[in-house]
Homo-oligomer: A and B are copies of this chain.
Amino acid sequence: MTTATADEGLWSSEYVKEMVKQMRALDSYGTYDGWPNERVLAPYIVTKEQRREIPVIGDPDEVILSRVKAFYNGLAVLIEKESGLMASSVINITHEGFGRALITCGKLIVLDRTLRDVHRFGFESIGKMKDEADKLLSVALAIIGKYPEVAGL
Contacts and interface: CB of A to CB of B under 8 A. Distances in A.
Contacts of A91: 92
Contacts of A112: 104, 107
A90 interface: yes
Interface residue tally on A, bucketed by range: 10 to 19
Interface string A135-148: 00000000100010
Given A107-B147, A109-B109, A150-B150, 7 more contacts: A90-B90, A90-B92, A102-B102, A102-B104, A104-B109, A107-B110, A108-B109
A81 interface: no
A90 B106 CA distance: 16
A17 interface: no
